[in-house]
Amino acid sequence: MSPELILFLVLSLVAIAAAIGMLISPNPVYSALFLVINFSTVAVFYLILGAPFIAMAQITIYAGAIMVLFLFVIMLLGAEKLAPGKVLPYQKPLAIGLAIVLMVESVYAVLARNPSDAEIIVPTEAANSIDAMRDLGIMLFSDYLLPFEVTSILLLVAMIGAIVLTKRAKGEQE
Amino acid sequence: MLLEYLAIAVLIVLATVVALIAIGLGGLFGPKKKTVNKSMPYESGMMPIGPGTRRMPVRYYLIGVLFILFDIEVVFFLPWAIVFRQLGWFGLIEMVVFVAILLVGYVYAWKKGALEWE
């Protein structure tokens, strides 16, 4: 077994364990922290697949900023003190049904893959180097220039929306 | 091909080990005499007020959102910095436009007092 395969197997166990821990943890704050472990292991998967930029973004944005926001929202709502067991009656059968649909679809997608025309793309040495990021940069700032600039509008809207929703006007009482 | 990231793995392991040693040695050799005051949650030397899991003010959420947005902005700087010389003036103008739009949001946040802690 190659070291990459061993690393993948160990980390996939950690990722699955963290995901299960996130689901069954009674305290939403612990769930969020399990999700941080999951995000971190997924970041290493991206490294194994030869995508260092995605791995970096996964750590800084998902495991970093988004989890900070998740934790703030959980503590903001006081969700960690919600009484357990308050679920809608149809929630469990619905969840089981949707999970079965997802499983069937995943298995079908793997089995139905025609091995001749859909070879798994194995990342090469070059894909894992700085060249990949250079290609990404060139594409992003030439062909995908408009989506890139529109992203800044999106960020601006999100920023103004958050301020409008949470900021009290001066002199307004709590 | 993952070997180039070995340094990061070594750093993570070292940081964990050093932290464990620091806690472990303290637990091993430090005297353990529990008193009521010592068992209290530590709140920077103040008497603890209320439960530890009380609801946070919405201001933290605003700070969190602003943090995410500027974090995403910074992530875009990385591929840009790598191809900066290839892109030349065009690339610089692109990034100036990007940052200028976000600066509008920054100025708005500033003027609205969103960066102040009332």
The whole-angstrom separation of Cα B76 and Cα B95 is 9
Residue B116 counted as domain residue = no
Judge residue A97's burial from the number of C-beta atoms within 10 Å of its C-beta, 0-12 exposed, 13-18 middle, 19 or more buried: exposed
Whole-number Cα distances in Å, B22 to A173, B8, B28, B45, B91: 46, 21, 10, 22, 48
Give residue-wise pLDDT tens across range B33-76. Answer: 888 877 887 778 777 777 766 777 777 888 888 888 888 888 88
Residue B68 counted as domain residue = yes
The answer to whether residue A73 neighbours chain B at the CB level (below 8 Å) is: yes
Domain residues for B44? 2-111
Determine the pLDDT at residue A15.
94
Residue A102 has pLDDT above 90, yes or no: yes
Determine the pLDDT at residue A172.
55
Q: Which of B16, B82, B110, B111 is the best residue to mutate to test the A interface, defined by the most A CB atoms within 10 Å of its own CB?
A: B82
Residue B107 counted as domain residue = yes
Determine the pLDDT at residue B24.
92
The whole-angstrom separation of Cα B28 and Cα B58 is 42
Q: Which residue of A has its CA nearest to B73?
A: A152
Instruction: Give the CA radius of gyration of chain A.
Output: 21
Give residue-wise pLDDT tens across range A57-99. Answer: 899 898 888 898 888 888 888 766 666 666 778 888 999 999 9
Give residue-wise pLDDT tens across range A27-37. Answer: 888 899 999 99
The answer to whether residue A107 neighbours chain B at the CB level (below 8 Å) is: no
The whole-angstrom separation of Cα A65 and Cα A58 is 10
Phi, psi of B46 (to 5 degrees): -85, 160
Residue B118 counted as domain residue = no
Residue B63 counted as domain residue = yes
Confidence class of residue A174 from pLDDT cuts 50, 70 and 90? very low
Residue B69 counted as domain residue = yes
Orientation angle between helical segments A130-141 and B84-111, nearest 10 degrees: 70
Confidence class of residue A103 from pLDDT cuts 50, 70 and 90? very high
Residue B117 counted as domain residue = no
Average pLDDT, chain A: 82
Whole-number Cα distances in Å, A13 to A10, A106, B50: 5, 19, 39
pTM, rounded to two decimals:
0.75
CB contact (8 A) between residue B101 and residue A72: no
Q: What's the token pair of residue A26?
A: 């009674």
Q: Return the CATH number at B6.
A: 1.20.58.1610
Strands (E), chain A: none
Q: What's the token pair of residue A147?
A: 């989506």
The whole-angstrom separation of Cα B99 and Cα B76 is 10
The whole-angstrom separation of Cα B97 and Cα B75 is 16
Overall domain count for chain B:
1
Residue B64 counted as domain residue = yes
The answer to whether residue A37 neighbours chain B at the CB level (below 8 Å) is: no
Determine the pLDDT at residue A140.
84
CB contact (8 A) between residue A60 and residue B1: no
